[in-house]
Amino acid sequence: MKRLISVVLLAAVILTACGSAVSEAPTETPLYRDPAQPVAARVADLLARMTLEEKIGQMTQVEKNSLPVGAVADYFIGSVLSGGGGSPSSNTPEGWAAMVDGFQEQALSTRLGIPILYGVDAVHGHGNLAGATIFPHNIGLGATRNPDLVRQIGQATAEEMLATGIPWNFGPVVAVVQDVRWGRTYEGYSEDTGLVTELSVAYLEGLQTLPSGYVPAPGQTCLVAATAKHYIGDGGTLFGSDSPSGYLIDQADMQVDEATLRALYLPPYQAAVEAGALSVMVSFSSWNGTRMHANQYLITDVLKGELGFEGFVVSDWAGIDQIPGDYYSDVVTSINAGVDMVMVPQGFQLFLFSLTAAVENGDVSMARIDDAVSRILWAKFLLGLFDHPYSDPAYLATVRSPEHLALARQAVHESLVLLKNENQALPVDRNAGLILVAGEGADNTGLQSGGWTLEWQGVSSSRVEGSTILDGIEALAGPESEVHYNRFGRFDTLEGVIAPVGIVVVSENPYAEGVGDSPGLQLSQTEINAIVNLRPQVEILIVVILSGRPVIITDQYPLADAWVAAWLPGSEGAAVADVLFGEVPFTGRLPYTWPRSSAQLPLNINTVGELRGCDGPLFPFGYGLGEAASEPIEWLECPAIP
């Protein structure tokens, strides 16, 4: 708030000065273009020069495929985004940079030359970019409990984004996920507020902090803008409650009192604000029936007022449309609630017209517009965009660099959680002799990467550049060993042969957002068959689970000697084999409570209470064998929970 007053006061002063300057047709460089000036003065000077049309343009974010040629310049658009899968026709770093720079050139050609801010969901590496380093999704990073690793991943992601000219990441998700039936569970670090807070701040700092030796533009304090999302309580919605998109739990209603909201869901935002987050994205969900995009108390009074957030608030994808009422009232309500930039993927002209009319009608004040625009300009100055608006080819070498791939492998190693290990199943002996491998997920980089990879919903083929778990097994198996692979676990040519070791990789098909909401979390019959088929053909059976959340394995658990949760490891799947063969120890611990049955859900550290035995989880939050050093669970034969 204090900054706003200073900016407005400065604007008033400069307006007077600028007013006289404008009539005298200034000859010198405008103050906002003077890199020697303080950012606050540059913001105020620029704000004072802007027309209403230019201001509203800054508050508008459009999806790149929805922009007619020249529209960025014609409508003074302030931001462009690539949605999930929104890559250019040439999906290379150079192709991305050319696309982004093209929009930037339009923006710089306008009267005031305000650069655009281009945004993308680089939520586990620059996932839309073919050939990017794809890190484990956040659920796996939650299992590492390693903030320093997560910070490095943030920085590596920022570098690969800058290789494509993009300085704004719609991440991290700071959801404190309370029900793993949610299709976005894997985007969350955990069900635990403290763990989410620690890791999301680490990632945010990795994205935003200027690396040592980096030469910033004048006034630049941030490398890539982070976005704490989705404000607030996206992971606390009630299964089956009202979701405007018709999802089972995504975008639904969080039904808690304010004390619970503040205790469970606010701490990650408070920490993100204190860490200097440049943006916060509003949640599609609602709180006790009020859609978040309409919640002035939480956005303006709490986030901006109480927490002192000085960045800008961006809506989610056409998120304001879900506010009850007609579009004009959606615009008025959301802007007055405190949304500063509206993500208008399609039909941006209607937004521009509606907000202009709202200001002219007095339904939205100019003070509110000036607050929103000054926040957006503030972020653009802190990113150095006025002084170096175009992509920097120096970052091209960082894409899938050896350093980034090594970091990704380390993240995979530390994310694996050992759930069961009997009969000395693990580590696998490199000279075991015959090793049978089954399951489509064993040899499919798409399945191991999950959603937000090349496409919004991810891909279920090996289109992702990288290595598979099978690649890793074949690389580590000794010269005396033979590796055979069959996705169904059928090795008819080995009739009657009992192999020393069998490894089945079970996997979920990729999904994103509400598309992944699931009532049951069961393994597919194909996955179950692969386990059942392989069991009689091997002495030792190991099951590796590729999933975006805990899945129900209770019935199959006794069939295998070892179980490993591998989550969604990303492009470097071979690193899973490093841990299976004992090259690296198991250190991961569960970031989510693992249910015995989906009938127990929601089941988490806040609901498990005294539930134990057959009424309790299969594995508790924090569980992990190997160096994670939990005591192995006591296996119980429990009646099926209805």
CA distance 294 to 335: 8
Which residue, 84 or 147, is less far from ligand GLC as judged by CB? Answer: 84
* Torsion, Cα of 341, 346, 350, 356 (10° steps): 20
User: x/- site string to ligand GLC, residues 191 to 230, per CB under 6 A?
Assistant: --------------------------------------x-
Q: Between residues 45 and 121, which has the closer beta carbon with respect to ligand GLC?
A: 121
Q: Would you count residue 563 as binding ligand GLC (CB under 6 A)?
A: no
SS (H, E, C) 583-633: CCCCCCCCCCCECCCHHHCCCCCCCCCCCCHHHCCCECCCCCCHHHCCCCC
Which regions of 79-180 does DSSP assign to beta strands (E)?
79-82, 117-120, 168-169
Q: At 119, list the tokens.
A: 């945004």
Q: Which is nearer to ligand GLC, 45 or 316 (CB)?
A: 316
| Pair 91, 455: CB distance under 8 Å | no
Answer for which of 45, 121, 191, 370 binds ligand GLC (CB under 6 A) is: 121
Under DSSP, is residue 538 helix (H, G, I), strand (E, B) or coil?
A: strand
Residue 414 interacts with ligand GLC (CB under 6 A): yes or no: no
Please identify, using beta-carbon distances, which residue of 80 and 505 lies nearer to ligand GLC: 80
- Contact between 250 and ligand GLC (CB under 6 A)? no
Catalytic residue of the set 316, 330, 340, 517? 316
- Pairing of β 499-507 and β 482-486: unpaired
Q: What is the total count of residues that contact ligand GLC (CB under 6 A)?
A: 8
| Contact string 2-41 vs ligand GLC (x = CB under 6 A) | ----------------------------------------
In the list 205, 253, 316, 330, the residue contacting ligand GLC (rule: CB under 6 A) is 316
Binding mask 491-520 vs ligand GLC (x if CB under 6 A, - otherwise)? ----------------------x-------
Neighbours of 480 (CB within 10 A): 10
Q: What tokens does 605 get?
A: 């550290």
Residue 166 C-beta: closest distance to ligand GLC, Å = 13
* Cβ contact 309:301 at 8 Å: no
Query: Any contact of residue 572 with ligand GLC (CB under 6 A)?
Result: no
Q: How far is the CB of 116 from ligand GLC (least distance, A)?
A: 16
Q: How far is CA 83 from CA 116, 159, 169, 170, in A?
A: 16, 20, 11, 10
Between 173 and 473, whose beta carbon lies closer to ligand GLC? 173
What is the nearest approach in angstroms of ligand GLC to the Cβ of residue 89?
19
Provide, rounded to whole angstroms, the least separation between the CB of residue 326 and ligand GLC. Answer: 22
- Alpha-carbon distance of 54 to 5, in angstroms, equals 21
Q: Provide the 10 A C-beta neighbour count for residue 277.
A: 27
CA distance 139 to 591: 7
Classify residue 284 as exposed, middle or buried by CB count within 10 Å of its CB (0-12, 13-18, 19+): buried
Choice from 57, 78, 83, 147 touching ligand GLC (CB under 6 A) = 83
Q: How far is the CB of 357 from ligand GLC (least distance, A)?
A: 26
CB of 400 vs ligand GLC, minimal distance in Å: 23
Rounded CA separation 258/508 (Å): 35
CB closer to ligand GLC, 170 vs 563: 170
Number of CB atoms found within 10 A of residue 136's CB: 32
First-to-last alpha carbon distance for the chain, in angstroms, is 53
Q: Which residue in 32, 103, 168, 170 binds ligand GLC (CB under 6 A)?
A: 170
Active site residue 316: yes
Nearer to ligand GLC, 343 or 435 (CB): 343
Q: According to CB under 6 A, which residues from 583 to 622 bind ligand GLC? A: none
Interface with ligand GLC includes 317 (CB under 6 A)?
yes
CB closer to ligand GLC out of 229 and 487: 229
Active-site entry in 160, 513, 517, 527: 513
Residue 215 C-alpha from the chain's centroid: 28
Question: Given the rule CB under 6 A, which residues bind ligand GLC?
Answer: 83-84, 121, 170, 229, 316-317, 513
Active site residues: 316, 513
